[in-house]
Amino acid sequence: MFLTSKSAISRERRTELLAFEKNAQLRFKSIELLNLALTHRSYTNEDSSHSPNNEKLEFLGDSVLGMVVATYLYKILQDKAEGDLARIKSYVVSEDTLSIAAHGLLIQDYILVGKGEELSGGRGKKAILADAMEAVIGATYLDSGFEAAEKLVLRLVEPEILKVLQNRHRKDYKTILQEYVQKYHRSYPAYALVKKTGPDHDRTFWMSCSVGKTEYGPASGKNKKEAEQNAAKVAYDAIVEEGGLEAARLLQTESQ
């Protein structure tokens, strides 16, 4: 038996959670466990009566997600090499993919966040949504077992796996560019913070990407990781344009 928080859930909150279940096509035996999965640490930091948050469920859900995806890829792609499976899995369990899945379940409408996060657009932050998605997976596993969690994960990721196999997925430009530069230039892309703009609670970061002596960008993002990804795309696009079809072919090979 797994212990869950027994913090009182208001009638209004219970109604919200039932609405979430209906939209997400889920059914929890423990509504407290679902509520915990949808409780961000910023909320508990501001309200001492709700001390637990979803971080442990996120940790568990991450492991369940990885196991389900790895097993599924192993079964359906037996002709692929280990490196290919790892690349597909990396995309499927990425923050971008999980945040999109979270949007599909409307997690942004039901997650509890603190006032500070609310004011800074926390409900729309990829990291918060992706973590909550993993927490819901972990909660489903604890509440209803592995088969239920596996069913949820596959419902979310099978369309994304298909996109990868059809080369219609959102590219990880940092990885593509790094593999290309390492193989053909014997070096690595270098990223540098150019500037930060906006107030502390709503920063925009501007990063440049250098390949050899050529600097590309800068490109912006709401965090350094996102800005680096966008700067890598700028470099990717420029290299394809400068190098023509041959560069495009080589970069396309790295993206497979």
For residue 39, give the DSSP letter.
Answer: B
CATH number for the region 173-255 comes to 3.30.160.20
Domain ranges of the chain: 11-165, 173-255
- What pLDDT was estimated at residue 82? 87
* C-alpha distance from residue 34 to each of 11, 46, 183 (Å): 15, 20, 46
Q: pTM (2 decimals)?
A: 0.70
Going across the sheet that includes 204-211, the strands are 190-197, 204-211, 214-221
Q: In sequence order, what are the residues at sequence separation of 6 or more whose Cβ sits closer than 8 angstroms to the Cβ of residue 242?
A: none
pLDDT band, residue 168 (cuts 50/70/90): low
In sequence order, what DSSP letters do the residues of 67-110 get, joined into one string? Answer: HHHHHHHHHH-TTS-HHHHHHHHHHHTSHHHHHHHHHHTTHHHH
Of these ranges, 120-129, 133-142, 216-225, the one predicted with the greatest mean pLDDT is: 133-142
Instruction: Express the helix, strand and coil content of the chain in percent, nearest 5 each.
Output: 65, 10, 25
Structure tokens at 110: 């039901």
Q: What is the mean pLDDT of residues 211-237?
A: 90
- Taking the CA of residue 30 as centre, how many other CA atoms within 13 Å lie in the half-sphere pointing to its CB? 21
Q: Cα dihedral sign for 76, 82, 88, 93?
A: positive
Burial status of residue 127 (CB atoms within 10 A of its CB: 0-12, 13-18, 19 or more):
middle
pLDDT at residue 111 above 90?
yes
Active site residues: 62, 134
Beta bridge partners of 195: 206
* Distance from the Cα of residue 115 to its chain's centroid: 23
CATH 3.30.70.260 is the classification of domain 11-165: no
Quote the strand ranges of the chain, DSSP E.
190-197, 204-211, 214-221
**For residue 187, what is the DSSP state?**
S
CB 239 within 8 A of CB 211: yes
The alpha carbon dihedral of 223, 219, 171, 211 has a sign of negative
Per-residue pLDDT tens over the stretch 170-218: 667 888 888 888 877 788 999 999 999 988 878 899 999 999 889 999 9
**What mean pLDDT do residues 225-232 have?**
91
Residue 2 has pLDDT above 60, yes or no: no
Cβ atoms 174, 96 nearer than 8 A: no
Q: Would you place residue 167 in the very low, low, confident or very high pLDDT band (cuts 50, 70, 90)?
A: low
Euclidean distance between CA atoms 41 and 133, whole angstroms: 14
Amino acid at 212: G
pLDDT tens by residue, 55-93: 999 999 999 999 999 999 999 998 888 888 888 898 889
